[in-house]
């Protein structure tokens, strides 16, 4: 087999691995933001946070969730 074909395969495999790592990081980020939102909305400690700060964090978490879902191609 020609060396050119081997190198091309290596590049495709490397690209695939990079895509997989990126997807895993995005999915981990999504889960973290969903957990954060749940804390802010339902946990007594989350509800005890000063309301203006809590509302800001809720909006930020919702935006991060929407962004991550769009990036992953997950329906909202």
Question: pLDDT (tens digit, 9 = 90+) per residue, 17-65?
Answer: 878 888 899 999 999 999 999 999 999 999 999 999 999 999 999 999 9
Dist CA 72 CA 76 (whole Å): 11
Dist CA 10 CA 28 (whole Å): 27
Domains identified in the chain, total number = 1
Higher-confidence residue: 44 or 13?
44
Confidence band of 4 (pLDDT split at 50, 70, 90): low
Range of the domain at 67: 3-72
- CA of residue 63 relative to chain centroid, distance: 11
């Amino acid at each position: 087999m020609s060396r050119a074909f081997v190198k091309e395969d290596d590049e495709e495999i490397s690209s695939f691995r990079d895509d997989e790592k990126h997807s895993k990081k995005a999915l981990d980020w999504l889960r973290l933001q969903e957990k954060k939102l749940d804390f802010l909305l339902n946990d007594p400690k989350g509800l005890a946070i000063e309301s203006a700060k809590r509302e800001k964090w809720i909006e930020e978490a919702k935006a991060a969730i929407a962004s991550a879902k769009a990036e992953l191609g997950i329906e909202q």
